[in-house]
């Protein structure tokens, strides 16, 4: 038995409230369950009850065992002097306020239906499961799941928005600088995301701004900070990059300290970091006001056109500096741009709208519903239980659901878990 379950049952009045009595046989009438408190102090604030026909207003504390009151030291804590009812699963002792007056106690287990208790125990049964409700997930009403997933999507956006606000403060409210850091990390994808992020953090955005009119300078800056300009390679392109980087390094006092090494292992050649670096450089070379263009873009097609960029000429015949390959124009794919939209553009648009005090939720929903669902282990496992992800909105929501609710056993805070218990 968990205390969270007692909170849940009380909050939603999922018990017999018609003939409710204290352990001393005093009639209880609930006027208001109160406000659930998630911080320190009693579990519910500003509750209103009638106990033995006397009206009470105050706080309610809850425990699995009544004796937990003393284990937690509430009898000497002034914060609990205004507790008007102690709600417990097991009444194993009377409890008292600091002035030694007895606090009325409700032993909740006597008033809960067997079905609710059975459903709760089934959900939290100690068996190896991917998620607690995997045996019953398919039975949950689709409308309940769809509404909860939309809530999960915006909850995930809110979390990302906090990270963006932190970056904004670090960047002195420079939204273009924040975009560069977010975008660069996502150009590195999952394998090299942190490495790309460390490169973006290794110099001020003003350095990029001052070199944006020359593609070679941007490539030299990025490749140089990654330490990829090997003296052993004598290609003209490599020599030009090394020369340009030495100039930039001296002019801007560049340091590579903290820049993480790149990984090539198990990556398909089109996703090699060298290719992504060149595409990123081309993107900023062609768009001097990228942030403004992103904010103005109202359709997916506008974003596809904006982010469809190719490498510089050298990389048409190379995947690495040292080995040539068959010529191929290497342009960002639609699938890659989708990932940028999902992980960078949508969170950025959402955060900027909040910053301005605007509401763009409907526009964001429309874009995300037009994007295909992501394919990963979490999404695939949910879809095996019940086909619930047909768009990027739902796949992002499922990531939030799994990591913030399922993994943390927060079933009682989840509408799906709620639907299965009641």
In the chain, the number of structural domains is 2
Q: Above 70 in pLDDT, residue 16?
A: yes
When pLDDT is averaged across residues 265-292 and rounded to a whole number, the result is: 96
- How far is the C-alpha of 245 from the C-alpha of 214, rounded, in Å? 13
100: left (phi over 0), alpha (psi -120 to 50) or beta: left
Q: What is the pLDDT of residue 127?
A: 67
Low-confidence winner among 16-20, 275-279, 390-394 (lowest mean pLDDT): 16-20
Over residues 55-84, the pLDDT tens digits come to: 999 999 999 999 999 999 998 888 898 999
Q: Are residues 217 and 352 in the same domain?
A: yes
- Give yes or no for a contact between 303 and 392, defined as CB atoms under 8 angstroms apart: no
- Of 233 and 209, the structure prediction assigns the larger pLDDT to 209
pLDDT of residue 115: 86
What percent of the chain shows pLDDT beyond 90? 83
Residue (of 129, 197, 156, 180) closest to 290 by Cα position: 180
Residue 215 belongs to some domain of the structure: yes
| pLDDT average, residue stretch 298-304 | 96
Residues spanned by the domain of 290: 153-370
Give pLDDT, residue 4.
87
What tens digit of pLDDT does each residue of 145-168 get?
A: 999 999 999 999 999 999 999 999
Same domain, residue pair 76 and 170: no
Which tens digits make up the pLDDT trace of 385-419?
A: 999 999 999 999 999 999 999 999 899 899 999 89
The band of 218, judged by pLDDT with boundaries at 50, 70 and 90, is very high
What pLDDT, on a 0 to 100 scale, did the predictor assign at position 97? 80
Question: Looking at residues 250-276, what average pLDDT do you find?
Answer: 96
Residues 345 and 248 in one domain: yes
Task: Pick the last residue of a domain from 323, 351, 370.
Answer: 370
Together in a domain, 291 and 175: yes
pLDDT at 1 over 70: no
CA angle 171, 172, 178 (to 5 degrees): 35
Which residues 6+ apart lie within 8 Å of 14 measured at CB? 8, 112, 116, 421, 422
**Separation between Cα atoms, residue 276 and residue 337, nearest integer Å:** 12
Residue-wise pLDDT tens digits, 306-319: 999 999 999 999 99
**Are residues 282 and 203 both part of a single domain?**
yes
Q: Quick check: is 420 in a domain?
A: no
Quick one: 205 and 102 in the same domain?
A: no
Are residue 239 and residue 358 in the same domain, yes or no?
A: yes
Distance, CA of 36 to CA of 283 (rounded, Å): 49
Q: Is residue 144 part of a domain?
A: no
Spatial contact of 83 and 97, defined as CB atoms under 8 Å apart: yes
Does the structure show a pLDDT above 80 at 176?
yes
Q: Taking residues 282-306, what's their average pLDDT? A: 97
Q: Is residue 129 part of a domain?
A: no
């Amino acid at each position: 038995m968990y205390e969270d379950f007692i909170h849940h049952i009380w909050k939603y009045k999922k018990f017999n409230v018609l003939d409710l009595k204290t352990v001393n046989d005093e009639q209880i009438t609930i006027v208001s369950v109160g406000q659930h408190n998630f911080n320190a102090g009693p579990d519910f604030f500003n509750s209103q009850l009638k106990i033995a026909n006397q009206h009470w207003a105050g706080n309610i504390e809850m425990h699995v065992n009544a004796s937990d009151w003393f284990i937690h030291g509430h009898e000497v804590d002034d914060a609990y002097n205004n507790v008007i009812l102690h709600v417990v699963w097991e009444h194993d002792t009377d409890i008292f306020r600091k002035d030694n007056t007895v606090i009325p106690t409700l032993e909740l287990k006597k008033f809960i239906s067997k079905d609710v208790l059975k459903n709760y125990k089934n959900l939290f049964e100690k068996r190896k499961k991917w998620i607690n409700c995997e045996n019953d997930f398919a039975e949950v009403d689709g409308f309940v799941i769809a509404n909860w997933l939309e809530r999960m999507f915006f909850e995930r956006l809110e979390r990302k928005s906090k990270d963006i606000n932190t970056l904004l403060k670090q960047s002195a409210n420079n939204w273009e600088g924040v975009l560069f850091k977010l975008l660069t990390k996502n150009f590195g994808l999952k394998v090299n995301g942190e490495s790309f992020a460390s490169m973006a953090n290794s110099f001020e955005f003003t350095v990029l701004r001052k070199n944006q009119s020359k593609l070679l300078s941007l490539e030299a800056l990025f490749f140089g900070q990654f330490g990829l300009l090997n003296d052993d390679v004598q290609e003209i392109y490599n020599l030009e990059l090394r020369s340009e980087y030495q100039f930039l390094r001296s002019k801007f006092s560049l340091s590579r300290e903290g820049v993480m090494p790149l990984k090539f292992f198990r990556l398909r050649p089109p996703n090699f970091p060298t290719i992504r670096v060149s595409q990123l450089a081309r993107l900023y070379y062609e768009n001097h006001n990228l942030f403004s263009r992103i904010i103005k873009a109202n359709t997916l097609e506008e974003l596809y056109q904006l982010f469809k960029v190719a490498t510089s000429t050298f990389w048409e015949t190379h995947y690495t500096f040292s080995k040539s390959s068959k010529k191929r124009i290497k342009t960002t794919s639609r699938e890659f741009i989708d990932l940028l939209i999902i992980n960078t553009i949508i969170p950025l648009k959402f955060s900027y709208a909040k910053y301005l005090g605007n509401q763009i939720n409907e526009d964001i929903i429309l874009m995300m519903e037009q994007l295909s669902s992501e394919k990963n282990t979490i999404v695939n496992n949910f879809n095996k239980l019940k086909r619930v992800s047909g768009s990027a909105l739902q796949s992002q929501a499922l990531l939030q659901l799994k990591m913030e609710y399922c993994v943390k056993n927060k079933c009682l805070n989840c509408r799906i878990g709620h639907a299965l218990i009641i």
